[in-house]
Amino acid sequence: MKSLQKLRKKVNYRDFLGLGIAGNFALHLAQAGELEDFKDVITADEAAPKGMFPFYLPKRVREAKEILSTYPLSSSTIKIPNKELNIQAEPEVALICRLEYENNKPSKIIPTHFGAYNDCSIRVAGASKISDKKNWGENSKGLSENLIKIDRFSDGGIMDNYSICSFLKRDGKLHAYGENVELKGYSYFYEKLQEWMVEQINIQRDFGPLEPLSDYIASCNNPSDAIISIGATRYTSYGESTFLQEGDEVFVVLYSHTELSLDDVIKSIKKSSFESSNMSLLKQKVIL
């Protein structure tokens, strides 16, 4: 498939800005116990995401927490800080984007590739900012090495044909962790999402769980590239109630549902035989 860009070598994105979106898939925030965090955040419409958060800043930003300048991405490992913390995988789609600026502010976000992503999160009540739950050091996030080239980020493009699913393997048994859903199930997607992201970055201030992203970006000297995770999908009942443990394996899969069935994906995981021409797979071992 011409649209797939295989990145087999170890790729790092240390010069990329890392951002995430909160509340872009119906019911996820409630499942994650995070609705209360956003009780004072007013959105343009009921379906709109709640805001954006930084998970990685490529330069040290004085106004931001120092941990955000620690590179968190891994394609193979999730390191949990201790056994006592409740940590969940968050199956997501990551967009690799070019950023354009006007008058020193982001004016355009252009997605070029997409891939499987794990926005792994600490479940802790009372965190002052979303980012407090997102980056706790190296190997606290996941991004697939197989990225799929976007022909056009709009209806009729390649992403129309893709779904996301996720699994947790524990004690030799494979469990569905997130629901199997089409990417078009995101509340905001394609042009609507692009426009919202640009506006949100420029208007978002230090309020409640949110942070002043435009200030952070300017302090990073306006990076030309970004990884943007566009929101976690809904959990299965198993995923909603299950936290990560040492020895677990996490799988997040984006696959072409026009070429593969969910059963095909499950068989591939069980056989450890993956067809990279029509899927982006992230497999991470959980370590202490």
Give the tens place of pLDDT for each residue, 174-184. Answer: 999 999 999 99
DSSP secondary structure string for all residues of 126-173: T-SSGGGGT--STT-EEE-SEEEE-S-SSTTSGGGGEEEEEEEEETTE
Percentage of the residues of the chain whose pLDDT score is greater than 70 = 90
Taking a C-beta distance cutoff of 8 angstroms, is the pair 94, 116 a contact?
Answer: yes
> For position 36, what pLDDT does the model report?
63
> For position 204, what pLDDT does the model report?
97
Of 33 and 225, the structure prediction assigns the larger pLDDT to 225
> For position 12, what pLDDT does the model report?
80
Percentage of the residues of the chain whose pLDDT score is greater than 90 = 84
> For position 277, what pLDDT does the model report?
83
pLDDT score of 227 more than 60: yes
Taking a C-beta distance cutoff of 8 angstroms, is the pair 226, 16 a contact?
Answer: yes
Instruction: Output the CA torsion 127→117→14→153 (10° steps).
Output: -110
Q: Which two tokens stand for residue 181?
A: 């859903």
> For position 283, what pLDDT does the model report?
98
Q: Which two tokens stand for residue 268?
A: 């591939």
183 vs 91: CA distance, rounded Å: 12
**First vs last C-alpha separation in the chain:** 38
Question: Could you read off the pLDDT of 118-154 as tens digits, one per residue?
Answer: 999 999 877 899 999 999 999 999 999 999 999 999 9
pLDDT score of 109 more than 50: yes
Average confidence (pLDDT) over 7-22: 81
> For position 16, what pLDDT does the model report?
98
Average pLDDT of the chain to the nearest whole number: 92
> For position 1, what pLDDT does the model report?
40
> Helices in the chain by DSSP H: which ranges?
28-31, 190-203, 213-219, 237-241, 262-271
Taking a C-beta distance cutoff of 8 angstroms, is the pair 162, 180 a contact?
Answer: no
pLDDT score of 287 more than 90: yes
> For position 125, what pLDDT does the model report?
74
Taking a C-beta distance cutoff of 8 angstroms, is the pair 21, 228 a contact?
Answer: yes
> For position 29, what pLDDT does the model report?
58
* Second CATH level (architecture) for the domain 4-287: Alpha-Beta Complex (3.90)
> For position 189, what pLDDT does the model report?
97
Question: Could you read off the pLDDT of 15-45 as tens digits, one per residue?
Answer: 999 999 998 985 545 665 665 665 666 677 8
190 vs 198: CA distance, rounded Å: 13
Q: Which two tokens stand for residue 222?
A: 């306006």
Q: Please, which pLDDT band fits residue 7 given cuts at 50, 70 and 90?
A: very low
Q: Where are the domains of the chain?
A: 4-287
Average confidence (pLDDT) over 241-259: 98
Average confidence (pLDDT) over 233-238: 95
